Amino acid sequence: MNDLMLSEETALDVNIQREESFMSTSELAEALDVGESTVKRAVEELRPVLGGLSRNKQGGYLFTETQATQIKQEIQKHHNLSSRQIDKVSTEQEENQMIAQAFTILQRRLTEAQKEVEKLKPAAAFAYQICSSKDAIDIGNCAKVLNRNIGRNRLFELLRNKKILQPDNIPYQKYIDAGYFRVIETKYVIPSGETKISLKTLVLQKGVAYINKLLKEAVND
């Protein structure tokens, strides 16, 4: 009966030891492709932080995964280990660190992307206003859509000074041909009852973008 209990305790002890993985000095040195003396020097340097070290029957050190990682990092400071050698002793602790770093980098990039989206919002709003307009808008509404602190009359003046509009506020033909403007006829009745016809300048979507560019250049100048 006592022999049976002893056997069970021995088996239990063996199972507990097997659950924790250890690496010997020679195994760690082989994995890193360095001499055992290099590993031993690293151990001496890290003695205060490694904690208790297990030993095998021959008296050599046995390292846990965490200790092996610490030793490897110490050796890396003085040796140019290849990525293959580093991978040989990659531990769960290191993998968790890499995952945490990856999440940090991802979060930073998401924040940067969000900032870029915020920068693009005004341009997107401007594009929406243009696209949601009808085929063409008059100069007054163009000034409102651009929202650049310029009113209808000042915009007319600017376009005349740029030789885009003629003195009567009708575009020069080349700007009509370019698809920036359209000129339409409007009818109105004077007090005498007579119907008159006048020409009105409308700005097409392409023209709004062109005027917006002119206003940006004017600000920079």
Q: Average pLDDT in the 199-205 region? A: 90
pLDDT category of residue 60 using cuts at 50, 70 and 90: confident
pLDDT category of residue 16 using cuts at 50, 70 and 90: very low
For residue 55, pLDDT beyond 50: yes
- Pick the more confident residue, 185 or 101: 185
Q: Dihedral, CA atoms, 129, 134, 138, 142, nearest 10 degrees?
A: 10
CB distance 148 to 135 below 8 Å: no
Across-strand partners of 55?
A: 61
Q: What is the phi/psi pair of residue 80, to 5°?
A: -90, 85
Domain assignments of the chain as residue spans, ordered by start: 2-89, 91-132, 134-220
Q: Report how far apart, in Å, the C-alpha atoms of 157 and of each of 32, 37, 132, 146 are.
A: 77, 85, 27, 16
pLDDT category of residue 95 using cuts at 50, 70 and 90: low
β-pairing, 54-55 with 23-24? unpaired
- What number of helices (H) and strands (E) belong to the chain? 11, 6
Please state the separation of Cα 84 from the chain's center in Å.
30
Angle between helices 36-45 and 25-32 (to 10 degrees): 110
Amino acid 188: pLDDT: 81
For residue 212, pLDDT beyond 70: yes
Amino acid 135: pLDDT: 72
Amino acid 100: pLDDT: 66
Across-strand partners of 188?
A: 196
pLDDT digits (tens, 9 = 90+) for 169-182: 999 999 999 999 98
For the chain, the helix, strand and coil percentages under 3-state DSSP, each to the nearest 5 = 60, 15, 25
Q: Which of 184, 87, 174 is nearest to 138 (CA)?
A: 184
- Pick the more confident residue, 7 or 96: 96
Instruction: Output the pTM of the full model.
Output: 0.40
Tell me which architecture the domain covering 2-89 has in CATH: Orthogonal Bundle (1.10)
Length of the chain: 221
